[in-house]
Amino acid sequence: MEPGNGTQISEFLLSGLSQSLELQPLIFGLFLSMYLVTVLGNQLIILAVSSDSHLHTPMYFFLSNLSLVDISFTSTTIPKMLWNIQTQSKGITYASCITQLYFYILFAQLDSFILTMMAYDRFVAICHPLHYMVIMNPQLCGLLVLVSWLMTAMASLLESLIVSVLHFCSDLEIHHFFCEFNQVIQLACSDSFLNIIMYFSAGVVGVGPLTGILHSYSKILVSVCGIPSAQGKYKAFSTCESHLSVVSLFYGTGLEVYLSSAAPENAHSSVTASVMYTVVTPMLNSFIYSLRNKDIKRALQRFLGR
């Protein structure tokens, strides 16, 4: 891999969250705690769903997959950041950066696809309740997850391969705590046509699931408005509360990342938004579903009581 000045790239530099040495122990402890809470919380949801036969339904099948992806998503970025703080190093090898970029894109896109499946599941449950078990059969659910893995794996591989052929300028410092997509692209000196291809690919994979979610909820809203009683409307809509909270958190922080990183002068805002997107959101997902879902709480109580 050769940059514009003809020298061989061996590594990038990650500026991290703060240059202050006094803040490094605080940052290390805070992010280590959030990472452990994320892993533990999502693991408990996976164990609760797998151990309780009452939760062997499409909704909780997708939820357990979401928890697995959230663990993987956080593990892509935080351990390396903690390692750099501990060793007082900023370096990340070129190969490690491309690898981290691949898995970051993979799990971010998988998150959006699984959230779309969960929205479709709620649409079928509310709008076609009598045919729910026929439509949302185990074979379809498994196929949806498998296709999502294949599509996101190919899309993230394509984007990572394009990044690997870019030529980079002499400035190899990434103003972030991991190899974030937009930040890496901004260091490139290559033809902008490749950048357009990458942004188009990322946009298609990102906008497609969001369109599916909005379409599902538009149908749900129409169906709920047709329910005569206020109690019936509340009961139908209450099944969507947790999912809507997670979708709002995920896409709200995700859009903030890419809107703020579109301009180089907003580097600090981009890093702050990325912390919400890659660390806080996966951690809060487990709390949202466990604290606002009676089935999950009962399953966790039974599991922890063993």
Per residue in 190-220, pLDDT (tens digit) is: 656 666 666 666 666 677 888 899 999 999 8
**Could you tell me how far CA 170 lies from the centroid of its own chain?**
31
Structure tokens at 179: 């190899």
- The residues, ordered by sequence, that sit 6+ positions from 44 with a Cβ below 8 Å of its Cβ are 286, 290, 300, 303
Give the CATH number of domain 11-304; options: 3.30.750.24, 2.40.160.10, 3.30.465.10, 1.20.1070.10.
1.20.1070.10
Instruction: Tell me the pTM.
Output: 0.87
- Give me the pLDDT at residue 227, please: 78
Q: Which residue stretches of the chain have pLDDT < 70?
A: 1-8, 190-205, 258-270, 291-292, 306
Q: Per-residue pLDDT tens for 23-79? A: 888 989 999 999 999 999 999 899 888 888 888 899 999 999 999 999 999 999 999
From residue 254, give the alpha-carbon distance in Å to each of 37, 112, 257, 296. Answer: 21, 10, 5, 27
Residue pair 97/178 in contact (Cβ under 8 Å)? The answer is no
Domain boundaries, the chain: 11-304
- Give me the pLDDT at residue 224, please: 84
